[in-house]
């Protein structure tokens, strides 16, 4: 579901590069994409229109559609016999819908009374594998996070808008000197119809999601709620500040993580080196650290800039980068779907 | 000193817009700018070459030059009778050189046994007025900071490189999909001679300054050291992660600040509204918050996204933006120079 979107396109690539445990793969998208032929797992597949019947005989349905579409259609798919893995926020807060990061809480895929499993938010997923690996050794107690989130997390419209803005400002070397410059340059050349609440080219925007309570955004509360649920730590202390940056794809996070037990940076680094889905890029003398430009298009969680906090006991500082379309969306959805498929195969 | 650089140019504008308490203003720059005529305080002034004699009769010398030039020439200027206000890092760690933010520790301008006063680092200055205002009410104990630092902090070369990179990537809509994309696009069109250690357009780079100890950068240690000194809090707990972002001018910081006394976000907001050099932009329901694009070219420290930390006692989260060429460099230098001039006038 949503096969032609920014995440859907990556999902087809991810499916095509992993072991093909699937029989038939059906592709569904909105009406304007119906009839297009896309390639997945080496097969040409025609995009179908969304209807009740499309879910008949489906074991696992991967959803990447807007929240309202997911809320309406996930129960339909379940009624037709599918297990739904949904990448929208529609079910993430539902206590009867597990939130699964396969490297951290894979067993939760079986705990799905509604037949729906939610894919966590991309900001949570960017760091959860690294945090999970450290938590299992030292017991995480506190998390202070500031994010650097990419445009593609709002879909193809976000990617296009960032490129539109870049083209509008490129070559204007006087820009960035005065407050009205950038907004004027953009409004001269582009319409106001942006998925972002402020200019994104040559800017950073401390607002991701919608307002929830007491000045917090949905994204910030989501990171807190989801880190707690996935790690199974209902008392975990979390403060997040979520910021959009002019990067196409690749979320980054500055993470200040405090643990119950004494932790040394060398041991923490070793634990991450040994975590299957984490790659450590951390040679400061060689200027080796993760950046979105260097990790985009790849699956792991990349960690660098690991430092022992000087003034805070049992605390590690680190900078984490992860592809928000892969681990943050398509890859995790596919990984969860694979766990479900194995689970179904065992039951039968 | 350094009248034609990125900071020097702003310094001339700042001097021209403030009360003109100066008699003669001399402009000094490197040899390639000697003989150029610049306007300051309504007067046309010819740029002079650096020499011992240029400091004769000078009361206050404002330096914005590389560290090694400052280290060599500040003592020369002092020997000729000037008080030096230096914006390089040459003297910032010297216990006999005060580090002054005029809204926080103005009296320290008199404590200058070497005749030199250091302008704090631009990342420290971006947040220090806001922190100072909150500290005076609630006593700051802990600070966890992640930065979003602009290209112009490394001077004109940083501004030009960011624009060069923007031009090289604009219109290439496939960029940002794969890890090699961006580096390839840049190396096709630009030489490798960047002041940044990684691509900056469409990227964020978690590295500012040079390596110091245990994985920390000079910039991160500087923020810790300077916040402690300026606030007079040698035991303040500080962890900073400094990140360069593709913004021309305007530093931003995600700040997690903990205090000794119970603090409520409404009272903290009111204290910042009343701080003379701070502007609060914080109406989340109206999507009002500071961004670099909206505050560049102006003097105050802008604070928004103020939130009561849910899980951390006595802790406020906020997002701070400030013009790194103004408050972070030229403005603060001029403000310190004005304090020195008033001090000298009283002594005479």
Q: Indicate whether A348 pLDDT > 80.
A: no
**pLDDT at position B263:** 98
SS3 of B285, please?
A: helix
Distance CA A36, CA A47 (A): 5
**pLDDT at position A77:** 98
How high is the ipTM of this complex?
0.96
Among A187, A244, A293, pick the best mutation site for testing chain B contact (most B Cβ within 10 A).
A293
| Exposure on the CB side of residue A165, measured as CA atoms within 13 A | 29
* Burial grade of A101 (CB within 10 A; 0-12, 13-18, 19 or more): buried
Contacts of B201 in chain A (CB under 8 A): 166
Strand extents, DSSP E, chain B = 28-29, 37-40, 43-46, 48-49, 60-63, 83-86, 116-118, 140-148, 237-241, 251-259, 278-280, 301-308, 315-322
Report residue A307: phi and psi, to 5°.
-140, 145
pLDDT tens for A57-93 read: 999 999 999 999 999 999 999 999 999 999 999 999 9
A321 annotated active-site:
no
**pLDDT at position A192:** 86
The crossing angle, in degrees rounded to 10, of helices A331-347 and A6-17 is 50
**pLDDT at position B147:** 98
Structure tokens at A36: 């297009």
pLDDT tens for A23-37 read: 999 999 989 999 999
Q: Select from B155, B10, B28, B121 the least CA-distant residue to B82.
A: B28
Rounded average pLDDT over B210-226: 96
Among partner residues B205, B215, B311, which is closest to A307 by beta-carbon distance? B215
CB proximity list for B198: less than 8 A, separation 6 or greater = A287, A291, A293, A294, B205, B207
Q: Is A265 in contact with B177 (Cβ distance < 8 A)?
A: no
**pLDDT at position B137:** 97
DSSP 8-state class, residue A82: P
The crossing angle, in degrees rounded to 10, of helices B156-169 and A156-169 is 120
**pLDDT at position A319:** 98
Among the options B163, B251, B256, B321, which is catalytic? B251
A135 annotated active-site:
no
SS3 of A281, please?
A: coil
Rounded average pLDDT over B310-317: 98
CA distance B18 to chain A (A): 18
Q: Is B173 in contact with A166 (Cβ distance < 8 A)?
A: no
Query: A311-321 as b/e, with b when 16 or more CB fall inside 10 Å?
Result: bbebbbbbbbb
Q: Is A294 in contact with B198 (Cβ distance < 8 A)?
A: yes
Contacts of B238 in chain A (CB under 8 A): 310-311
pLDDT tens for B124-158 read: 999 999 999 999 999 999 999 999 999 999 999 99
Distance CA A41, CA A7 (A): 16
Among B142, B151, B166, B269, pick the best mutation site for testing chain A contact (most A Cβ within 10 A).
B166
Contacts of B159 in chain A (CB under 8 A): 173, 176
Continuous segment of H or E residues that includes residue B112: none
Instruction: Identify whether the C-beta of residue B168 lies closer than 8 Å to the C-beta of residue A171.
Output: no
**pLDDT at position A175:** 85
Distance CA A292, CA A200 (A): 16
Contacts of A179 in chain B (CB under 8 A): 293-298
Per-chain mean pLDDT for chain B: 96
Structure tokens at A294: 């260097």
Give chain B's radius of gyration (CA, Å): 21
Q: Select from A115, A63, A55, A58 the least CA-distant residue to A86.
A: A63
Q: Is A148 in contact with B315 (Cβ distance < 8 A)?
A: no
Rounded average pLDDT over A145-172: 95
**pLDDT at position B348:** 74
Q: Indicate whether B101 pLDDT > 80.
A: yes
Report residue A284: phi and psi, to 5°.
-55, -35
Report residue B144: phi and psi, to 5°.
-115, 120
What is the percent of chain B with per-residue pLDDT over 70, rounded to a whole number?
Answer: 100
Rounded average pLDDT over A331-342: 97
Rounded average pLDDT over B247-254: 98
Alpha-carbon distance values, B319 to A322, B305, B322 (Å): 23, 6, 10
**pLDDT at position A149:** 98
CA distance A62 to chain B (A): 22
Instruction: For A9, name the nearest residue in chain B, comparing CA atoms only.
Output: B177
**pLDDT at position A177:** 84
Report residue A140: phi and psi, to 5°.
-70, 135
pLDDT tens for A254-298 read: 999 999 999 999 999 999 999 999 999 999 889 899 999 999 999
Contacts of B197 in chain A (CB under 8 A): 287
User: Which pTM was predicted?
Assistant: 0.96
CA angle A248, A254, A260 (to 5 degrees): 145
* Strand pairing report for A237-241 and A140-148: parallel
Per-chain mean pLDDT for chain A: 96
Continuous segment of H or E residues that includes residue A277: none
Q: Is A204 in contact with B291 (Cβ distance < 8 A)?
A: yes
Distance CA A66, CA A71 (A): 9
């Amino acid at each position: 579901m949503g096969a032609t979107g920014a995440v859907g396109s990556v999902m087809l690539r991810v499916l095509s590069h992993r072991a093909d445990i699937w029989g038939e793969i059906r592709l569904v998208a909105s009406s304007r994409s119906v009839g297009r032929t896309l390639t997945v797992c080496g097969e040409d597949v025609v995009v179908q229109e969304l209807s009740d019947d499309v879910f008949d005989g489906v074991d696992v349905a991967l959803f990447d559609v807007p929240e309202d579409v997911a809320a309406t259609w996930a129960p339909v798919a379940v009624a037709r016999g599918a297990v739904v893995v949904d990448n929208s926020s529609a079910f993430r807060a539902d206590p009867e819908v597990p939130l699964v990061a396969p490297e951290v809480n894979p067993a939760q895929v079986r705990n799905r009374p509604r037949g729906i499993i939610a894919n966590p938010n991309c900001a949570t997923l960017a760091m959860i594998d690294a945090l999970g690996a450290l938590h299992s050794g030292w017991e995480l107690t506190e998390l202070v996070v500031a994010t650097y989130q990419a445009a593609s997390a709002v879909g193809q419209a976000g990617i296009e808008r960032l490129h539109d803005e870049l083209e509008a400002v490129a070559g204007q070397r006087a820009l960035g000197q005065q407050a009205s410059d950038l907004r004027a340059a953009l409004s001269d050349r582009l319409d106001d119809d942006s998925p972002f609440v402020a200019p994104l080219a040559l800017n950073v925007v401390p607002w991701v999601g919608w307002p929830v309570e007491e000045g917090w955004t949905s994204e910030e509360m989501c990171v807190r709620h989801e880190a707690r649920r996935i790690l199974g730590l209902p008392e975990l202390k979390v403060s997040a500040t979520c910021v959009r940056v002019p990067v196409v794809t690749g979320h980054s996070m500055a993470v200040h993580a405090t643990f119950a037990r004494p932790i040394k940076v060398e041991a923490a680094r070793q634990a991450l080196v040994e975590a299957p889905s984490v790659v450590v890029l951390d040679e400061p003398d060689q200027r080796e650290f993760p950046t979105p430009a260097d990790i985009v298009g790849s699956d792991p969680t990349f960690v660098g800039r690991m430092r022992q906090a000087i003034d805070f006991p049992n605390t590690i500082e680190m900078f984490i980068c992860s592809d928000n379309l892969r681990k943050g969306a398509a890859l995790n959805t596919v990984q969860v779907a694979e766990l479900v498929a194995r689970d179904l195969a065992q039951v039968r």
